[in-house]
Amino acid sequence: MYFFTRSINPLTLSSVLTCALLLPACVPALQSESSKEKNSLKIPHRFDATKPPVPEVATGLMSLFSDSRLNNYVNRALTGNPDLKASLARLEEAGFNTRKTYAATVPSLTANSSASRSNVSGRYAVSLDSQWELDVWGRIKAGTNAARQSEQAFAADYAAMRQSVAAQTMQAYFSLVSSEKLLGLSQRRLKSFDDSLSLVNRRFEAGTGNLGDVDLARTDVENTKAQVEQRKNARDQAARQLAALTGSYPDAKSTASSWPSLRRSVPAGIPSDVLMQRPDIDAAYQRIRAADSNVTVAHRDLYPKFSLTASTGQQSNVLKDLANSNFNVWSIVGNLAAPILDGGSRKAELGAANARAKQAIASYQSTVLGAFQEVENALGSERYLKSQQASYTKALAAANSAESRIKRSYEAGLVEILTLLDAQRRSFSTEESLINTTALRFQNRVSLALALGKGL
């Protein structure tokens, strides 16, 4: 038996029910803009920067390099990085939020008890109250879908964060390798300039040199000493960055002194592969779905809500009678709540939900364009950096050869000290450029794998 607990004028009740029945036809069926919006982005058949030779072989970040020390740092980061732990906690929170929305689909049950005492007698009561909203229009289901899709977005965020942390750790490792190599280069430069200073001093003492040559050689020595200190600081900072990424105290104890093999590369594939492989794009897509479901929630909120409440219990003047399971007080009530006047609040929320759906679409498009740009940049850099590295390697060999010849000529008194010092600077400057380019190429190889969504 259903009855309304409040007394309602028959005419008023009839009007409310009529409005409730006609409301689906009266309210404009506003749909999410996400269901109307079309992506006008034209995706080419191949990446613009894909030109021979095309990178190939490796299938993921962890298979790029055969380096046990590097892999150890990455594994430590995947278990200890605090940002990654925070991302996992957000995913766990999203799971509980999803479970919370499912609670609205089943009746809620509340237990109550009360006692009162008068001069004549006492009164004791215990009751169980249940409430259940009938999801006539699918509003609750849409809310559940939105929560589940948001959870899927957070799961994709977590996958993207794992890849990002692994990539950052690899790049920090290569920064440390280059920092240590540059420090070693500066120390060798200092020794070379020290040797040159000794050579100039011997010539000055022998009367075949002048004091200006000594000052020039000493200038290079002192400048290089300052550079050595700067390189030590840069090396320590790179070590601290690597330690912090692994969740350890940021000290300067981490070491990495040699490049791993760079024989393996990354298959570029075709542009559409990126849409299927990158978790950040998946996360943006899931947020479009969640926003679309939230539009449905806001739309259905314009409709009336039907709920059932049931109450059963026991009342007695004697406390021990409450243990009797033969409940003698019960009722079932049906309630109808329909929005009549709310100042436009619900329609405003529907408009806001549509605006959020537009934002989700724009965010998705931005993520996709950003992904394509990252791939194109990394592919282009791969080709240019490889060419740079080859040129610097040849230039270094030539500079070292020139330095050796000029040094012998200086010792024989055939050239000036400026010629020798310039040859030494050119040799070390070329080697420095080679180290920096090599570091950029290793870091770019990681960026390419990450941009293509190759995973771990």
Compute the distance between CA of residue 328 and CA of residue 325 in angstroms, rounded to an integer: 9
Give the model's pLDDT for residue 306: 73
Rg of the Cα atoms in the chain: 37
Phi, psi angles (nearest 5°) of residue 413: 80, 20
What's the whole-number mean pLDDT along residues 281-299? 92
Provide the mean pLDDT of the chain.
Answer: 81
Specify the pLDDT at position 440.
Answer: 95
Q: What are the pLDDT digits (tens) for 137-176? A: 788 888 899 999 999 999 999 999 999 999 999 999 999 9
Angle subtended at Cα 36 by Cα 141 and Cα 273, rounded to the nearest 5 degrees: 90
Give the pLDDT score at 324.
58
Q: What is the spatial distance between Cα 357 and Cα 146, in angstroms, rounded to a whole number?
A: 12
The residue assigned the tokens 């920092």 is 179
Indicate the pLDDT class of residue 1, thresholds 50, 70 and 90: very low
Q: How confident is residue 276, by pLDDT bands cut at 50, 70 and 90?
A: confident
For residue 122, what pLDDT is reported? 64
Listed in sequence order, the residues at least 6 apart from 331 whose beta carbon sits closer than 8 Å to its beta carbon are 310, 311, 312
Residue 8 has pLDDT above 50, yes or no: no
pLDDT at position 273, please? 78
**What are the structural domain ranges in the chain?**
33-109+138-303+345-451
In this prediction, residues 430-450 reach a mean pLDDT of 94
Residue 197: count other Cβ atoms within 10 Å of its Cβ. 19
What is the rounded distance in angstroms from the CA atom of residue 264 to the CA atom of residue 285? Answer: 32
The answer to whether 449 and 58 have CB atoms below 8 angstroms apart is yes
Query: For the residues 59-78, what does the mean pLDDT come to?
Result: 89
The answer, yes or no, to whether residue 339 has pLDDT greater than 60, is yes
**CATH class of the 33-109+138-303+345-451 domain in this structure:** mainly alpha
Residue 161: per-residue pLDDT: 95
Q: Which of 41-50, 55-64, 88-97, 316-325 has the highest mean pLDDT?
A: 88-97
Strands in 122-134's sheet, in edge-to-edge order, are: 108-117, 122-134, 305-316, 329-337
Backbone angles phi and psi of 315, in degrees to 5: -125, 145
Residue 419 has pLDDT above 70, yes or no: yes
Q: Report the C-alpha gap between 284 and 364 in whole angstroms.
A: 5
| Cα-based angle 211, 217, 219 (whole degrees, multiple of 5) | 105
Span of 195-204, 240-249, 367-376 with lowest mean pLDDT: 195-204
CA atoms within 13 A on the CB side of 64: 28
Collapsing DSSP to helix, strand or coil, 114 comes out as strand
State the Cα torsion 217-219-225-227 to the nearest 10°. Answer: -110
Give the mean pLDDT of 198-207. 82
CA atoms within 13 A on the CB side of 273: 16
Q: What's the pLDDT score for residue 2?
A: 33
Choose the weakest-confidence range: 69-83, 172-186, 253-267, 362-376: 253-267
The structure tokens listed for 397 are 């060999």
User: For the CA atoms of 390, 395, 396, 402, what is the dihedral angle to 10 degrees?
Assistant: 160
pLDDT(392) > 90: yes
Q: Which of 19-23, 123-127, 317-321, 342-346 has the highest mean pLDDT?
A: 342-346
Q: What pLDDT shows up at residue 323?
A: 59
- Rounded CA-CA distance 157/280 in Å is 6
Q: What percent of the chain has pLDDT over 70?
A: 77
Looking at the predicted structure, is the pLDDT value of residue 200 above 50?
Answer: yes
Q: What is the pLDDT, as a whole number, of residue 110? A: 77
